[in-house]
Amino acid sequence: LWAKGMGAQAMGAQATVDLGLSEGTGQRPLTDAFPGKKGMILQRSRAPLLETPMAAFDGALQDDPVTPNDRFFVRWHYADIPLSVDAAAFRLRIGGAVKRAVSLSLAEIQAMPQVTVTAVNQCSGNSRGLFGPRVPGAQWGNGAMGNARWTGVRLRDLIARAGTAPGVVQVKCAGLDQPPGDAPHFAKSLALDHAEDDDVIVAYGMNGAALPLLNGFPLRLIVPGWYSTYWVKALDSIELLTGPDTGFWMAKAYQIPETEDAGVKPGATGFPTVPISRMPPRAFFTRTTPQEARGIAMGGDAGVAKVEVSLDGGAHWQQAQLGPDHGPYSFRRWAMPLTGLARGPHDLAVRTINTRGEGQKPAPIWNPGGYMRSSIETARVVVA
């Protein structure tokens, strides 16, 4: 299989990056070995887990904040992923509690009214490798995320082709990836009213091109403001349900503590949980020099209102410059001149506040899944 072969080649890559993980080695190889990808941080080859280096997010204040397709992170749950898809033969099936089951070709879907939304796609476990104490799972740095312009059709328009039978409460989506043995097929569900939201779409385009194979070709569910676990790749099945989805991937996996910030005391057990869903605000450094700090911010499921930077470890804050607003779900660039700093080390910090007034907490949370890290990011700059 190409994933196995490409993974073996990738392991021989010379260049590495240090993710600065909380425990163990943070060294990871960079690889160009996966189709349509270059300069990716190799976390795992089967199923592919490829992280985006923070340098790929960097840019000047006016630069477009979208992540190039060939640098966009990759995360699959199972190794048996589509190695190729015949676009002409592909069909999207819509069934369950519908008035009429339908099967749509890619061409039929592309002929429907088109919409584009710019949105951040972020893994639920982004930054898991920074959790302390360490938790199981992929030890991501901060790069299990990306921002793209997704083009496709509204999910509600597809549902309307089949018609909604009485009593529908959820919409279940599944893709072409196959589980091993008796493992549960990967599928995620949205409440019907959420599925019919204006911004929830089924995309066939990404940044003006077709979806890359590794990012979900030919169709991908886009759920702006929510974590990537709901963004089903290689989508080929939509099922309307008259009861809650009790499958493994909704009822057991991707659960977070039912607390205000999804955090519990390290080692805690037996606490109530809920499925992960919306993303909180986050801001990141992409570059720091003695002259300037800059980076990206996202508001979660609301727009970025402001970004603040501290030059003294969080004691005092000042507002950063913001780049153009590309919509409530997009990255937004920020920058802060660092002129006039005294010689020596300076501990910087960055935080963002979204348009609902939600911000970031200074201290990181902990939970056993390693989910939803969103605390204030820090960096050190030394003036010679």
Instruction: For 207-237, write each residue's pLDDT tens digit.
Output: 999 999 999 999 999 999 999 999 999 999 9
Residue 211 is classified by DSSP as P
Q: What is the pLDDT of residues 312-370, one digit of tens each?
A: 999 999 999 999 999 999 999 999 999 889 999 999 999 999 999 999 999 999 999 99
The number of beta carbons lying within 10 Å of the beta carbon of residue 258 is 11
* Domain end residue (candidates: 233, 255, 275): 275
The number of beta carbons lying within 10 Å of the beta carbon of residue 8 is 11
Residues 260 and 297 in one domain: no
Is residue 25, in this structure, part of any structural domain at all? Answer: no
Residues 213 and 98 in one domain: yes
Q: What is the mean pLDDT of the chain?
A: 96
Is residue 70, in this structure, part of any structural domain at all? Answer: no
Residues 176 and 271 in one domain: yes
Residues 244 and 296 in one domain: no
Q: What is the pLDDT of residues 245-260, one digit of tens each?
A: 999 999 999 999 999 9
4 CB-contact burial (10 Å; exposed 0-12 / middle 13-18 / buried 19+): exposed
Is residue 6, in this structure, part of any structural domain at all? Answer: no
Residues 197 and 262 in one domain: yes
Which amino acid, 157?
D
Residues 266 and 287 in one domain: no
Is residue 53, in this structure, part of any structural domain at all? Answer: no
Is residue 35, in this structure, part of any structural domain at all? Answer: no
Residues 155 and 196 in one domain: yes
- Which CATH number does the domain housing residue 118 bear? 3.90.420.10
Grade residue 23 by pLDDT with cuts at 50, 70 and 90.
confident
The number of beta carbons lying within 10 Å of the beta carbon of residue 342 is 6
Host domain of residue 303 = 282-383
In this structure, are residues 358 and 150 in contact, taking their beta carbons and an 8 Å threshold?
no
| Over residues 294-323, mean pLDDT | 98
Residues 106 and 149 in one domain: yes
* Domain end residue (candidates: 224, 256, 275): 275
* Cα–Cα distance for residue pair 178/8, rounded to 1 Å: 22
- Which CATH number does the domain housing residue 322 bear? 2.60.40.650
Mapped onto helix, strand or coil, the DSSP state of residue 292 is: strand
The number of beta carbons lying within 10 Å of the beta carbon of residue 2 is 14
Grade residue 3 by pLDDT with cuts at 50, 70 and 90.
very low
Residues 226 and 301 in one domain: no
pLDDT for 22 equals 82
Residues 342 and 269 in one domain: no
**How many distinct structural domains can be found in the chain?**
2
Grade residue 266 by pLDDT with cuts at 50, 70 and 90.
very high
Residues 247 and 377 in one domain: no
Is residue 82, in this structure, part of any structural domain at all? Answer: no
Is residue 16, in this structure, part of any structural domain at all? Answer: no
* Domain end residue (candidates: 254, 275, 296): 275
Residues 150 and 259 in one domain: yes
Is residue 322, in this structure, part of any structural domain at all? Answer: yes
